[in-house]
Structure formats: C-alpha cells, structure tokens
Chain A
Amino acid sequence: MRISRQTFSSATVLSAIALLAIPSSLLGSGGGSSPSPTPPPPVMELTARDHYERGLKLRDKAWELEEKATKEPEKAEKYLKKAGKEFEKAARSQREAIKMDSRMYQAYSSLGYALRRLGDYAGSIKAYDQGLAIEPRYAEAIEYRAEAYLGLGRLDEAKDAYMHLFRADRARADELLEAMQKWVDEKRATAGDQMVEDFAAWVAERTQLAVQTAMVGSGRTW
C-alpha cells in the first residue's frame, strides 16, 4: 500500500513566526531584581495543516496496529479494535482540518480513507467526491474512491476509475487492480455469483493487458 508522504515546510516557518510573536515579558527578560513568576505556556492555535498531519500520524498508527495483528494472530482482535479507534481519531482530525480549510482536498481524501477503513463506504465516497471536486486530478483519491466503490459493489464505477488511472497513472492503476483481484478472491470465498464472475473475468483480462503494456524501463509512474 502506498503511503502518501506530505511534507509541509511552511509548517515549521509558521511555528517559528508564532514563537517570535510571543511577548518578551512572557519569555522573561532576566533584567529584574526579583524573579518573575513562571509564565503560563503560550496557547498555540492548531492550524488546518496541523490537524491534517495529526490525522496522518493516527492513520499510520492504525496501520502499525494492523501489522501487529498480522504478526500476532492470538492478539489480532485486540490490535484491530485499537486500530479502529485510531482510524476514528484520524477521521476526527481530518474533519477538523476541513473545518478550518474547506479547500484542503488532501484532508478530504484522508477522511475518505479513514471512513472506508471503518466500513463507512457511503461517507467515504462522499469525502472523496468533495476532495475531487476541488482537485479532480488527485490520483490517490481516484484510486481509493474506487476501492470504496468495490466495498459497495458499484463495480462499473470502479472499472471506470481503473480505466482512467490506466491511461494516466499506471502505478495507481496497478494498485487498484490488485485491490480488485483481492475483492474477487474474497467474494468467491464467501458467496460468489454471476456478477462476481463477470467482474473476475474483466479483472483477469485487464491483468493480462496490464502485463502486455507494462512500461519497459519504468520504475515509477510518469
């Protein structure tokens, strides 16, 4: 799974500006004859970016817990429950970020992801839709929204998303195809039907075409 690594150098800059703005009386001049009382710590307003980054950290924590669940099957239930809690917190953080900056499409995408992992596919798709309305080229959201479509059995929309990515971002397309194959395998393991088999045939064909058209010499998307 691809981890979106967002770096915000301006965060550091803004924090530094905030520190400079703190009155010197609060920092203590050291020139008085009697010791000043210890000043209360300055209250730092969290920005949309802070909430967004916090949400990403919580998501990462959830991933770590899921990994632990895989490694320690006897404690899997406990770890997965904890992971769910972290996804809930991540969703809350992203909602805060969106509240403060309604144009932050990355936060919508991360909210969509957290909701999808919590099983709220409809909420997830709504968040992705909102993010993509702001930045329609955001490939991460296109890919993950398609995975939410899979969760709801909206297969035609998932296929459309795949074709879109296949034309423009092969790495994302390949990831989505992998998720589609996983979905097929899971459905077949429980209760496969004709719809699943039709989709399985489509996935098999697209897998073959993906191999045939693999970009020679490409270690990444372009």
Chain B
Amino acid sequence: MKKSGQFYLIGLLIIVVGIMWGTYQQAIDITTFSQFKPEKKASLHKPVRYFGVVSRYTPREIFQGYQPIMDYLTKNTSYQFELKLSSSYEGTAIQLARGDISVAAFGSFLYVTHKDDYDLEVILQPLNKDGESINHLMFIAHESKSIQSIRDLEGLSIVLPSKESLTGQWMPLYIEQTTGIKFNDFNSIEYVSHHTTVAELVLSGEFDVGVVKEPVAEMAIQKGLKIIHSVPVSATSPLVISANTDSITKDEIIDAFLSLKIQSNENKDFLKNWDEEFSYGFKRSTDADYDPIRKILKSINNIP
C-alpha cells in the first residue's frame, strides 16, 4: 500500500478512536429520568366521611375490595370517603354509634342484634348476581374429600366464621335441624375471624368442612374446593347508618349507590375491583327486610 493510503487509514483510525473516546463518557452515562405521576386526589378538599366495614375479611382484603367503592363514593358525593376498620363486628357498630363513621357495611345478624342498642338504621342492601336480595351460605369441602352433603358431616371437623356473624351463630343449629347431627357429634368446631380464613383452613386440610358467604365460596371453587350444600337467606348484608349520620350524607350515599348502573360497559371495569357482594347493585331497604333474620335469631335463642 502506498504512503497516501497508509496516511488515509491512520487518519481514519484516529477519527474512529476520537469518536469512540468522545462518545465513551456519553455512552456510559446511565442517568435516566422517568416522570413520576403522584396520585391526584381531586377530592382532597372535600370533607371526609368514614365508611366502616365489619371484620368479615382481613383488613388487606377489605381495602382490596372496598377502597374502589370509597373512590366511587368520593367521586359521586360531596365527601371524601375513607375506610375505617374495626377488629370486631361489634366494634363497627360502636364506631357507628359514636359517630366515628357515617355508614357501615354490616352483617345482617349484627344489624338485627344491635339495632336497638346503637340506634341503627338500615338504608340499602346489596343484590346478588340474580338481582335478588338473597344471600347464600355455602358449605365447602376439599375436592379430594368424599364428603357429598351435609349429612356426611358427623365426626368431621368444621370451621365457621365469627360467632358475631349469622353464619357463625346459625349454622350449628341449621345442621342439627337439617341432619340431626348435633354440636358434639363433630370431631371439632372452630370459629375464626374472617370468611376467607375459613376457606384457607379447609383448603389447607386443617378442617374437613367450612361455611362461608357465597362470594368467598365462588373464589374457593377455583382453588380446589367444592360446595356440598347451599343455604339461602332472604336478606343480604346491609348498609347501615346511625342516628349520628346527617341526612345529607345519608341521601348522597343512597343516591350514589342506587344510581350505579351495573350493566353499563363503562362501569363494568371498575366494578370488577369491588367486593363482589356489592358489585351487583343495591336496593332501598327497611328494617322489615331483616325479619327473616330475626326469625332465625329467635330459633337460636329458643335453644335451651
């Protein structure tokens, strides 16, 4: 190669090395920025109202299923709604009575038993997926178990939700009345705080049978449990206010829930994130709607 060619190549090499050196610092600069979008709470300046939920689920599950409902209420009322939890069913009733919360998602049994104690008023009750105000209590067992009906429960272990719930209170009596199996005929009976905990214990095999609310039972089916028996109850878990709740708040809550269009495509997406019990809409409710529960309560109280 002639000298001119060598000079050309050397020149080219110098340029390449120069470019490499020049771009090196830029190449290894790993500085990055991505815009952070903090939560924008348009409602931050609205007056706050607290919404109570009985401890039928764990606090995490309650926030998971009820926080979107708070967002909905905040958006559709003049208030910013925040969840306020309680460690017991009755704790929620007390919060309501004290005015710590404006409204609460109650258990039907809790309402019936504490209505007069805390001057409670039922305003709405949720509908099930068939549009009826009927609740189902489900007996669940592991798929691998040979249990086919509640008549097979003798000698088995059973786990139930809180004694403060309708399920916890009524099911032993219901089993006895339906099958003749008495309390002492079970190998063991245990009460736990939450419906989901019942499902988990049956799934893990620690108990043979459990009784839960319908939405929990449907989730449990997907995880390997089966439903062996269903008990319809002619009243769903109500939304309850107390005498402390002002009428404006009450009316706005009622309007917001009754105006919810569950069939609307626009709403379907956010309803998926709601606690299933509340995702099929509501109807106005009165105290008389809970007479069937009172009847059950009466039968329980008549046990000597």
A in complex with B: no
B-side residues, CB < 8 A to A, are none
